[in-house]
Structure 1
Amino acid sequence: MANFTGFSQAGLNFLQDAWIKNSKPWFEEHRAIYDNDLVKPFRLLVEQLTPEMLKIDEWFETRPAIGKTISRIHRDTRFSNDKSLYRSRLWLTFKRPNKDWKEAPAYFFEISPSSYQYGLGYYCSSKQTMDIFRDEILNDTKKFLAMTRCVKKPFELVGESYKRPLIKEQDKKVATWYNRKNIAVMVTSNHIEDVLNSDLPDKLVKGFKQLVPLYDYLIRVEMIKNIPTL
């Protein structure tokens, strides 16, 4: 198996140009750059990360393919006011197979022409998911706060919060989680040169392992959610 050696500036430039040109003929004319400088390194990155990710969860989808662990560059514009044909960013995920992928807690890494992100969370969690998450916080707040100690630099908690607190005068350490509409923790960096280097997999593995306590907590929420109701 070939090793990941880094993304290329040509690949990053392609992401920007494809979005600006917004042209299928242009895309097809330059497809070799997409295949060799984006899809290929993403596949190699997934393959290199897979052994360590399976130690976190043996049920992860790990096939290094578009639509499995690697995002599509083509946008579905059928129900969108934005008719841009192509995304200006690509990403990979490690998550359990789920009929509604937006509902699955996922590790992710994303690149754009000038920045990158990586972390853990939901793309768009449901109200049911967040209700169970909040119930678990209240059921054992001490255990929850112990778990949150894994969310430290370089990661930060993100996600839209309710304008009004759901519980008045709640401990701030709890409230910052409890009042979220969606949960994700991530690193966002403009040091795009980091993704051009072969040590990127080591950086990602280190960060993903740091967040294992949070991942295990979110998986528990999923298990509770999937308990059949009588």
Structure 2
Amino acid sequence: MPFSRETLDFLVENRLRDSRAWFGEHKAEYQKWVIQPLKEMVEALTPHMLTIDDQFVTQPRVDKTISRIWRDTRYTHDPSLYRDSMWIIFKRGRMHATEVPGIYFDLGPYGFSYGCGFYHASTGYMNTLRQMILRDDPTYKKAQAAYARQRIFAMEGECYKRPHFADQPGEKAQWLERRNIGFSKESRDFDLLYSNRLAQAVAKDLAVLEPVYRFLLAAAQEENMRDAAHAALEGGK
């Protein structure tokens, strides 16, 4: 079952009603119009994603590859119980962990987007990524070449207010000057969203990002190894 107008209508109405009672009374619609299409999207993308990383978690379940519809309101001023968007993500390990990058697809009343990045890139991770760029690590060079020859995805992420790497060429600076980094394509092509062509189109585009994902993963692995070595050193004192 592809996504449909009913998928987005449910997400919007559920967010506006913001009621556990209403959600409970309409759980069948939630399963039919939201969860089932998301599961089928995960299943359709899985063979393609495993060619990018055979260690991706691929179970088509909430908290494995599919987001929760309810929000964690503990650390926000917004008391809304539910979100009006949903997403799927392919990554290693726990879905909500932040130490490795992932490849995602999300949708909501605004349309849909997909790409590659982190939940929250740590300062240490970004510093490691910059070091790899500055030393022309082979994984960076492949990622930069792949990004430069495509016109599908945009590089995203907050930049420093003042340049920190003004001495670097532009192709490097666009990576180096960011506090966080991701790559995304946004679309309002609802005809595609509601069609059986969606998964194949998304998979074809995401294949372009494989070298970029590999670079982000390599930076994460280097940073995680550094953290582990530091922890071992501290533990030995």
Fold shared, TM-score > 0.5 on shorter chain: yes
CA distance in 2, matches of 1:226, 1:100: 17
Question: Are residues 142 and 57 of structure 1, via their aligned partners in 2, closer, same or farther at CA, if it must alter by over 3 Å?
Answer: closer
- Residues 153-162 or 23-32, more deviating: 23-32
Determine the structure 2 residue equivalent to 1:69: 65
Amino acid of the structure 2 residue aligned with 1:16: V
Q: Decide whether aligned partners of structure 1 residues 99 and 205 sit closer, same or farther in structure 2, where only a CA change above 3 A counts.
A: closer
Count of equivalent residues: 226
Counterpart residue number, 2:163: 165
The match for 1:187 is 185
1:93 aligns with 2:125: no
Distance 2:95 2:199 in 1: 28
1:127 aligns with 2:123: yes
- Aligned residue for 1:119, secondary structure, equals strand
Q: How far 1:65 moved relative to its partner?
A: 0.3
Distance 1:93 1:99, change over 3 A: closer
Determine if contact 2:104/2:114 at 8 Å carries over to the other structure.
yes
Match of 1:137 among 115, 133, 150: 133
| Structure 2 match to 1:51 | 47
Correspondence for 1:217 among 195, 215, 234 = 215
SS of residue matched to 1:101: coil
Q: Aligned residue for 2:110?
A: 114
1:40 lines up with 2:33 in the alignment: no
Distance 1:39 1:131 in 2: 38
What amino acid sits opposite 2:122 in the alignment?
S
By how many angstroms is 1:141 displaced?
Answer: 6.7
Could you tell me how far 1:100 is from its partner in structure 2? 5.8
- What do you get for the CA RMSD once the two structures are aligned? 1.7
Cα distance, 1:200 vs structure 2: 0.8
Distance across 2 between alignment mates of 1:98 and 1:35: 23
Percent same amino acid among aligned pairs? 35
Taking a change above 3 Å as real, the CA distance of residues 142 and 165 of structure 1, as seen in their structure-2 partners, is: farther
TM-score of the two chains, using structure 1 as the length reference: 0.92
**CA distance 1:170–1:9, change in 2 (3 Å):** same
Gapped runs of 5+ residues in structure 1? Answer: none
CA distance in 1, matches of 2:191, 2:23: 25
Distance verdict in 2 for CA 1:191–1:89, change over 3 Å: same
Amino acid at match of 2:8: L
* Distance in 2 (alpha carbons) for counterparts of 1:32 and 1:99: 25
What corresponds to 1:6 in structure 2? 2
Counterpart pick for 2:15 among 19, 32, 52 = 19
Q: TM-score, normalising length from structure 2? A: 0.90
In structure 1, distance between residues paired with 2:141 and 2:161 = 23
